Amino acid sequence: MNGGFGLRPGHGGPVAGNQRGPYGRRMEFQRPLIPARLERRYKRFLADVTLEDGSTVTAHCANPGSMLGLDMPGSRVWLEPNDNPKRKLRYSWKIIELSDGTCVGIDTTLPNRLLSRALRNRELAELADYATVRAEVNYGQSSRVDFLLTEPGLPDAFVEIKNVHLCREPGWAEFPDSVTARGTRHLHELAAVARDHRAVLIFLVQRMDCHRFRLATDIDPVYAAAFDSARDAGVDMLCYGTVVSPHAITLGPRIPIDTVWQDRC
């Protein structure tokens, strides 16, 4: 794997080797995370942080969204160090720890890695019948689906993954946290695929304090309308939680999706 961006199967601690956690397989970070304090996030992909020794460094922030409510200066954050000489920054920001101790994953690349392993190990009941999993397969108009699942006798399953970490009301996870024209395009393309194949959209919530999911219709009403159209066209909508800590991330239970948007439009 590539430096600090990887995950590795859990080993040591309460879940060892390839053993399952409470819901799915535990995935440890490639290197132990270290705590720091957030000074500022800027240019979307950069964050200045203060380490425990008092030094200030710049960390990579693998998140193109607004990170609404998750980039407050002074917050405790967790970084993954790396010693890859080809990388300009020595640290990657992985987690923000809220004032109540809740850990929220902010790296939008982690859901695909976690679900890749879950799909290959058939941990998602809705897709457990598929034995072959391919990542980043071209489809639609100049797009690549996150995963293409195939199995003789079954329709091909096109699976798209969306990272979720927005929470503006206790218990509610929401998506998106900013306008997403790319996400809207993906919904249109999944709806087209659903005419002849199986199309699945999975929202993965990278925080443990949310037990319900809904769309942030006030942030991107166009995406909400595309969601409704895709669902009506036969796209399967799923949402799963995670167990997030500075040690590992584990696939959590399925979370119900609220599909009544009118009161929030």
According to the model, what pLDDT value does residue 3 have? 35
* pLDDT of residue 7 exceeding 90: no
Structural domain span for residue 101: 3-105
Give the contacts of 8 (CB within 8 A, at least 6 positions apart).
1, 27, 28, 29, 30
Shared-domain flag, residues 116 and 194: yes
Question: What integer pLDDT is reported at residue 24 of this predicted model?
Answer: 64
Flag whether pLDDT at 4 surpasses 60.
no
Pair 79, 38: CB distance under 8 Å: no
* pLDDT-derived band at 20, boundaries 50, 70, 90: low
Q: Are 216 and 177 in contact (CB under 8 A)?
A: yes
Q: How confident is the model at residue 143 (pLDDT cuts 50, 70, 90)?
A: confident
Residues 51 and 90 in one domain: yes
Of 80, 105, 130, which residue sits at a domain end? 105
Residue 237 has pLDDT above 60, yes or no: yes
Report the percent of the chain where pLDDT is more than 90. Answer: 82
**Tell me: the pLDDT tens digits for 171-192?**
999 999 999 999 999 999 999 9
> Which CATH number belongs to the domain containing residue 132 in this structure?
3.40.1350.60
What is the average pLDDT across 65-91? 93
Number of domains, the chain: 2
Shared domain for 152 and 87, answered yes or no, is no
Q: Judge if 179 and 209 occupy the same domain.
A: yes
My answer on whether 198 and 160 are in the same domain is: yes
Taking 90 as the threshold, does the pLDDT of residue 12 lie above it?
no
Give the confidence band of 87 by pLDDT, cuts at 50, 70, 90. confident
User: How large is the average pLDDT for residues 117-125?
Assistant: 95
Q: In terms of domains, do 188 and 206 share one?
A: yes
Give the separation between CA 182 and CA 92, rounded to whole angstroms. Answer: 25
Looking up residue 22, the CATH number of its domain turns out to be: 2.40.50.580
Look at residue 64 and tell me whether its pLDDT is greater than 60.
yes
Same domain, 13 and 140: no
Do 203 and 254 fall within a single domain? yes
Question: Distance between CA 195 and CA 213 in Å, rounded?
Answer: 26
Flag whether pLDDT at 215 surpasses 80.
Answer: yes
Q: How confident is the model at residue 22 (pLDDT cuts 50, 70, 90)?
A: low
Same domain, 232 and 199: yes
Q: Are residues 146 and 226 located together in one domain of the fold?
A: yes
pLDDT score, position 23: 59
Of 105, 133, 163, at which residue does a domain stop?
105
Burial environment of residue 222 by CB neighbours within 10 A (0 to 12, 13 to 18, 19 or more): middle
Of the candidates 174, 204, 170, 203, the one whose C-alpha atom is nearest the C-alpha of residue 264 is 174
| Domain's final residue, options 38, 73, 105 | 105
Q: Could you tell me the pLDDT band of residue 1, with boundaries at 50, 70 and 90?
A: very low
The pLDDT, as a whole number, for residue 11 is 32
**150 and 244 within one domain:** yes
**Residue 149: per-residue pLDDT:** 98
Contact between 106 and 217 under an 8 Å Cβ cutoff? The reply is: no
More confident residue, 8 or 202: 202
Distance CA 218, CA 261 (A): 10
Same domain for 29 and 135, yes or no, is no
